[in-house]
Amino acid sequence: MKTSVLLAAVLVAAASHQAAAQTRRAPAPATAAPANAPTPPADPSGRLDYRNPAADQLIPVEADKRKPVTDDLQATVVELLELFHDSKQSHWNLRGPLYLPLHEKLQENADEYRKYADLLAERVLQVGNPIDGRTAVVAATANLGEFPGGYLSDKQVLIIMTERITTVAKRVRQRIDHLSKIDEVTSNQLQELSYELDKHVWQFRVHMQ
């Protein structure tokens, strides 16, 4: 009899210990989401809708500065895209003793023009306006004259490309001066481009001196 009572007591104690252990391991109840982070409402199709009309006004650049910044950068972007195409046209059709080094340099320059065109185009979007890099717009507004087709001699490329890059470099300097009075951030971006254009002019110029 005493053995049965003792065994029952042991079993009760073991069950109590197991229940306590399970209670300790139970996960804490989930906390409610903070009030400042609501779940975006669903649109009629059942998808989450993140559209916030107030976002259109979240532009750090003052409203009166956006158009002059856009105008100067739009002009610069189309010129850079034109120089990119001119460099590739020269790169492909080049002939003459300077073919190899000039061929490689033209590709390097083309990559630079494309890089800066992208950076400046994004700056236009940052100030709240679209950019227009369509081929028809580039052809109509770059104002660098028609580029010759067919094979091109190394001397011919040096003359043509140096003249075209010099023209753009001078225009960019004028825009730097203009934008320095309007938006220093954009003016600084153009200063970096200006350095590269001056370098390209020098590297081509010395071949002809």
pLDDT grade, residue 88 (50/70/90)?
very high
pLDDT grade, residue 154 (50/70/90)?
very high
- State the pLDDT at residue 35: 58
Read off the pLDDT of residues 174-194 as tens digits, 9 standing for 90 and up. Answer: 999 999 999 999 999 999 999
Read off the pLDDT of residues 99-116 as tens digits, 9 standing for 90 and up. Answer: 999 999 999 999 999 999
**Among 6-10, 61-65, 144-148, the least confident range:** 6-10
CB atoms within 10 A of CB 119: 15
Question: What single-letter amino acid sits at 99?
Answer: Y
Superfamily of domain 58-208: Ferritin, core subunit, four-helix bundle (1.20.1260.10)
Whole-number percent of the chain with pLDDT over 70: 78
Q: How far is CA 202 from the centre of its chain?
A: 28
Mean pLDDT score, 56-67: 83
- State the pLDDT at residue 61: 83
Average pLDDT taken over every residue of the chain:
86
- State the pLDDT at residue 13: 53
Specify the residue for token string 């320095």.
180
Whole-number percent of the chain with pLDDT over 90: 68
Each residue of 184-208: b (16+ CB within 10 Å) or e?
Answer: eebbebbeebbebbeebbeebeeee
- State the pLDDT at residue 62: 84
- State the pLDDT at residue 206: 95
**Among 54-68, 115-129, 130-144, 145-159, the least confident range:** 54-68
E strands, the chain, are 94-95, 152-153
Specify the residue for token string 């059709």.
93
Torsion of CA 42, 48, 49, 55, to 10 degrees: 130
Three-class DSSP category at 128? coil
